[in-house]
DNA sequence: AAAATATAGTTGCAATTTCAACTATTTCAT
DNA sequence: ATGAAATAGTTGAAATTGCAACTATATTTT
């Protein structure tokens, strides 16, 4: 059985990368919505806070970890705070800034979201990867993330 | 030189995938904006139309190719049309529908955007892939895209 | 051939995102 | 120490997105 080599795998990889991302996100958001759960962005915030030392992060740390503009994060945090999933606390060292601290309700919500989210990751993504492929993906994407602007 | 295997490459791959996508999109949009060019979504639409037979597509075909909700696409097309980059034409076979047809200005704009966009793809993405890695990426992502809902 | 159902695309409205401007500190360079 | 520049975070206003409802036409069922 002859193998037909793709004449330009690099040229095809990028559009596929974009399409895959859109499609997977669409499905994940849909699964969360069907389960009456908050959107993925909320999960990201909650999870970063839960992992963080003292379960708290400054706004800018959070913004950089979840790759979100500052103003965007301010309002995302507003919504999470309004829902009681986090609270803001003044920062003693720097009176300009504040911490976001995850609340018990936030921990609970994150835990409730995980089975739904995790199942989608498995079905849509992980299932299609061998361990070797996953390792290669990690290597490749790590390289891409390291690139400095300009 | 000992190799330290990642204990859980699959678990790391997904968050990295999300982060890589955000970061790369951010950089690309930024590069386009700095060059006073339209956003990436416009490029996608123009390129799909340019490639299409007769340089035209029905709204639903376009929506499915660029992975965008219908209503979202209606308004994206409105903007492109307002900018003179495409025009709508009634569909003779189906009086509910219409075609989007790319205009000469649309072809020109797509061509102007490409060097900027293409350079970012190279610098941020393609440069970090060997041919073998690109081939693997294509294989893996193709699998993921084939998954049927439910 | 009528009624029921499905598909194409648009639109109102509310939610979210973006951009630029703004306040309040903090840090740096004289 | 003082003024200039940088950083933290928020906010108003405009642009974009998403959801649900809606119009119009096509297709299927009886």
Measured between alpha carbons, how far is residue A114 from residues A109, A119, A144, B48, B106 in Å?
A: 9, 8, 27, 37, 44
Sign of CA dihedral A134, A136, A137, A141: positive
Residue B20, CB, less than 7 Å from strand D? Answer: no
The alpha helices in chain A, defined as continuous H runs, are 9-34, 40-51, 59-65, 70-82, 104-124, 131-146
Instruction: Decide if B28 contacts B124 (C-beta within 8 A).
Output: yes
Catalogue all structural domains in chain A, each as residue range(s) with its CATH number: 15-134 (1.10.10.10)
Please state, in angstroms and rounded to a whole number, the distance separating the CA atoms of residues A148 and B124.
9
Please state, in angstroms and rounded to a whole number, the distance separating the CA atoms of residues B70 and B63.
6
Distance in Å from D12's C1' to A96's CA comes to 21
Instruction: Decide if A100 contacts A65 (C-beta within 8 A).
Output: no
Hunting for tokens 């034409």 — which residue is that? Answer: B89
Half-sphere exposure of A98 (CA within 13 A, CB side): 11
Please state, in angstroms and rounded to a whole number, the distance separating the CA atoms of residues B66 and A15.
10
- The answer to whether the Cβ–Cβ distance between A17 and B144 falls below 8 Å is no
User: What DSSP state is assigned to residue B54?
Assistant: G
Please state, in angstroms and rounded to a whole number, the distance separating the CA atoms of residues A128 and A135.
13
Question: Which bases of chain D are contacted by protein, using any atom under 7 A from a CB?
Answer: 7-12, 16-21, 24-27
Q: Name residues 83-112 of chain B with a Cβ under 7 Å from nucleic strand D.
A: 93-96
Q: One digit per residue, pLDDT tens: chain A, 150 residues?
A: 666 667 788 889 999 999 999 999 999 999 999 999 999 999 999 999 999 999 999 999 999 999 899 999 999 999 999 999 999 999 999 999 999 999 999 999 999 999 999 999 999 999 999 999 999 999 999 999 988 765
Instruction: Decide if B110 contacts B46 (C-beta within 8 A).
Output: yes
- The answer to whether the Cβ–Cβ distance between B137 and A16 falls below 8 Å is yes
Distance in Å from C25's C1' to A97's CA comes to 9
Distance in Å from C22's C1' to A9's CA comes to 48
C-alpha closest to that of B19 among A82, A48, A118, A77: A48
pLDDT for res A4: 67
What is the CA angle A128-A44-B68, rounded to 5?
A: 65
Which chain B residue shows the shortest CA-CA distance from A6? B135
Please state, in angstroms and rounded to a whole number, the distance separating the CA atoms of residues B27 and A36.
33
Residue B45, CB, less than 7 Å from strand D? Answer: no
Residue B77: partners with Cβ closer than 8 Å, 6 or more residues away: B45, B59, B62, B86, B88, B100
Please state, in angstroms and rounded to a whole number, the distance separating the CA atoms of residues A136 and A139.
5
Residues of chain B predicted below pLDDT 50: none
């Amino acid at each position: 059985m002859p193998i037909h080599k793709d004449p330009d795998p690099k040229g095809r990889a990028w559009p596929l990368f974009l399409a895959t991302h859109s499609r997977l996100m669409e499905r994940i958001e849909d699964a969360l919505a069907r389960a009456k759960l908050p959107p993925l962005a909320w999960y990201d915030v909650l999870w970063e806070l839960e992992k963080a030392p003292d379960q708290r992060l400054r706004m800018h740390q959070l913004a950089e970890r979840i790759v979100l503009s500052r103003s965007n994060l301010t309002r995302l945090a507003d919504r999470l705070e309004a829902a009681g999933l986090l609270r803001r606390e003044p920062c003693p060292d720097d009176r300009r800034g504040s911490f976001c601290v995850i609340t018990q309700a936030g921990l609970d919500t994150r835990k409730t979201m995980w089975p739904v989210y995790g199942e989608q990751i498995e079905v849509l993504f992980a299932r299609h990867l061998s361990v070797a492929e996953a390792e290669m993906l990690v290597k490749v994407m790590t390289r891409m993330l390291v690139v400095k602007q300009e």
